[in-house]
Amino acid sequence: MSRSLQHEVTLLELVDRVLNKGVVLSGDITLSVADVDLVYVGLRVLLSSVATLEEQAQLAAGGVPAR
């Protein structure tokens, strides 16, 4: 796994935790469900572009992407 990909995977682990878990106190400002969805949409674009890069790197190296 490339370093950049590992980096993004860790970010995903983190996002799953800090956005969806943890106690919700009634702050004056908190993220709504819609806000969290927004984050995932943005993140998916980021992650899929990294996955595509990884796939291209495998092809360039003569390997067959196993998907």
Partner 1 sequence: MTSAPIRETVTGWYLYGVVPAGGGEAPAARGVDPEHQLVTIDCGGIAGVASQVSLDEFDKSTLPERLGDAEWLERKIRAHEQVLEAVHARTAVVPCRFCTVYRDEDDLKAFLAAHATALAEALDLVAGRVELGVKAFTASEPASAAEQAESGRAYLEARRSEQRRREELTASSSRLAAELHVRLLSAAEDGVVLDLQSREAAGRNEEMLFNGAYLVSDRGHFEQTLGSVAREQGELQLELTGPWPPYNFVPEELGRG
34 within 8 A of 19, measured Cβ to Cβ: no
Please identify which residue in 33, 60, 61, 66 interacts with partner 1, judged by CB under 8 A.
66
> Exposed e or buried b for every residue in 25-63, given b needs 16+ CB within 10 A?
eeeeeeeeeeeeeeeeeebeeebeebeeebeeeeeeeee
CB of 41 to partner 1, least distance (A): 8
Size of the site for partner 1 (CB under 8 A): 43
Interface characters, 2-41, with partner 1 (x: CB under 8 A):
---xx-xxxxxxxxxxxx-xxxxxxxxxxx---x--xx--
Binding site for partner 1 (CB under 8 A): 1, 5-6, 8-19, 21-31, 35, 38-39, 42-48, 50-51, 54, 64-67
